[in-house]
Amino acid sequence: MTRVRIDLFASLDGYTSAGQAPDNPMGADWGRLTTAYAATRTFHERVLGDTSGAGTTGVDDSYVAAHFEGIGAEIMGAAMFGLHTFPDDPDWKGWWGDQPPFGTPVYVLTHTAPRPSLPMPGGTTFHFRSTAIEDVLAEATEAAGGLDVRVGGGVSTARDFLRAGLVDHLHLMIAPILLGRGTRLWDDLRGLDLTHKVTTEVAESGTIHVTFTR
């Protein structure tokens, strides 16, 4: 059965990101939040294309590998695609390069006029949708063909799905740092420990992995 999955990064004090700016869309603290993620072998292989065997292979890597497994369709916000970043460039195809790493249909949520779908090398096709998230999720679920649907981000898109009660599996990768600023994770998750089962595990890096599953 298709599950709706989200992975988020957070700090120990519950911030998911901070310091975003037009020239730094992930935010100034992104590097500190994702240090353990970027150190894993799976990240090296799947994101950097580095097949040298570099990267950690412990608890962090097992969660990161799971993140990439069993996904049949992806949903992301317009900002994560980069839809409006270069509005005057008709050839702009988002942040994800000539061969995006998804290899599945990717549904990009947008409030602007419909655009034609954008097939890319490597099996990724971007679809642009301005309907309700429940409708987009229904379409993505059908496209996933029994595999899972991942809500990739950004944080505000993830929060929309969480608030709507649409998420079956939330994985938090909590870095043992205090940011003291940014978007608060927990405000939107009140009660999630009552509807979902919570698990906790610490990696060799000190990163705390928390999952909420129903």
Alpha-carbon gap, residue 46 to 65, rounded angstroms: 9
Helices 155-163 & 133-144 angle (0-180, nearest 10)? 100
Segment (H or E) for 173? strand 169-175
Phi, psi of 197 (to 5 degrees): -85, 135
13 near a second copy, rule: CB under 8 A: yes
Nearest distance from C-beta of residue 64 to a second copy, angstroms: 18
97 near a second copy, rule: CB under 8 A: no
Nearest distance from C-beta of residue 12 to a second copy, angstroms: 7
User: How many residues belong to the site for a second copy (CB under 8 A)?
Assistant: 22
Would you say 27 and 181 are in contact if contact means Cβ atoms under 8 Å apart?
Answer: no
Name the residue nearer to a second copy (CB basis): 165 or 180: 180
Alpha-carbon gap, residue 109 to 129, rounded angstroms: 5
Nearest distance from C-beta of residue 161 to a second copy, angstroms: 18
**Site mask, a second copy, residues 155-194, x = CB under 8 A?**
---------------------xxx-x-----x--xxxxx-
Name the residue nearer to a second copy (CB basis): 26 or 189: 189
- How are strands ordered across the β-sheet holding 148-153? 118-119, 125-129, 105-109, 71-77, 148-153, 4-11, 169-175, 208-213, 197-202
Name the residue nearer to a second copy (CB basis): 166 or 177: 177
208 near a second copy, rule: CB under 8 A: yes
Nearest distance from C-beta of residue 169 to a second copy, angstroms: 16
Name the residue nearer to a second copy (CB basis): 57 or 200: 200
Name the residue nearer to a second copy (CB basis): 139 or 188: 188
Q: Which of 145, 113, 144, 114 is nearest to 127 (CA)?
A: 114
28 near a second copy, rule: CB under 8 A: no
Alpha-carbon gap, residue 147 to 89, rounded angstroms: 35
Nearest distance from C-beta of residue 59 to a second copy, angstroms: 10
Name the residue nearer to a second copy (CB basis): 50 or 201: 201
Alpha-carbon gap, residue 11 to 34, rounded angstroms: 10
18 near a second copy, rule: CB under 8 A: no
Q: What is the amino acid identity at position 122? A: G
Contacting residues toward a second copy, per CB under 8 A = 12-14, 176-178, 180, 186, 189-193, 198-202, 206-208, 210
